[in-house]
Amino acid sequence: MKKNDKILVTGASGMIGSALVRKLKADGYNNILAPSHKNLDLCSQDSVNKHFKTNKPDYVFHLAAMVGGIHANNEFPANFIRNNSLMQINVIEASHKFKVKKLLFPGSACTYPKMAPQPIKESEFLNGMIEPTNIAYAAAKINGIVMCQSYAKQFGLKVVIPMPTNTYGIGDNFDPKQSHVIPALMKKFAEAKKNKKKEVIIWGTGNALREFIYVDDVADSFVFLMKKYNSNEIINVGTMGEISISKLANKIAKTVGYKGKIVFDSSKPDGAPRKCLDSNKLKSLGWSANISLDAGLEKMYKHHFNH
């Protein structure tokens, strides 16, 4: 990418999108297109085509998506699969039609099989059953990945498909119906501290293992891959560090300053028992994460609750 190339970032107001725009600006890219939903309806092919025809982006980061945790995926599966499928189909088609130089479409760790060998290698994609609690979101992502690779094969569209692990950080979604585990727990503990609650109840056994990566690291990896990676094969983006939900809860409670009791409700689902990505492929290219979980949680808490 050249500094004056037109770079379209869909979902620029989201957590990863806003971090990516910050990163691009910091790196000296000065021709960034970051349309709002009001100016670009990604669910409309006509709207997307018009935007591409008018603005002629050279590079596209398609980050717009409806996202959420177990509760949101369980309550709104039709919304997840419909909206995400429409948006990605329209952007991929327009990227081909208007001849963009390269399209980055991120997958998601949840598209890997529930019982995949750990840490999960890229070769495990489509090699088993998906965790049912987020099947609608994962199905849309899988379709987008296959569509990108199909357009690459048939039309020569240059695509990059990073597979980021669980992302958190500044700009995260704290809506209890849509949030992922870190913002959900941070909000719970912050409210419990404020209201002087003696205990906080958390879904699941606390035994599930997860890997987390700070949003600024994800944005940095996306820019790195757009510039350096010239394959349409999936590439994992993670830290290769695991932590149990129970240890994570205690770490967040400490960050927040909550000193009450933490109770795990084992009648509620854990999701996948373990999920850690093998990111050695990306590491071999010369990239690795810089921000530790402790540092990331501190940044996130100070920004959203102590701002």
Strand (E) or helix (H) holding 148: helix 135-155
Strands (E), the chain: 7-10, 32-33, 59-62, 102-104, 159-160, 162-164, 166-168, 199-203, 209-210, 212-214, 235-237, 243-244, 261-265, 274-275
Residue 137 bears catalytic tag: yes
Cβ atoms within 10 A of the Cβ of 240, count?
Answer: 17
Strands (E), 169-257: 199-203, 209-210, 212-214, 235-237, 243-244
Cβ 125 vs Cβ 154: under 8 Å = no
Handedness of CA 201, 190, 217, 71 (dihedral sign): positive
Structure tokens at 148: 């990108």
**Please, what is the Cα angle at 291 between 288 and 294, to 5 degrees?**
140
Identify any residues that bridge with 124 across adjacent strands, giving them in sequence order. none
Structure tokens at 72: 């949101």
Cβ 130 vs Cβ 114: under 8 Å = yes
How far apart are alpha carbons 183 and 65 in whole angstroms?
A: 18
How far apart are alpha carbons 185 and 236 in whole angstroms?
A: 26
| Strand pairing class (59-62; 7-10) | parallel
Catalytic entry in 59, 112, 137, 214: 137
Q: Which residue has the tokens 């600024």?
A: 216
Active site residues: 137
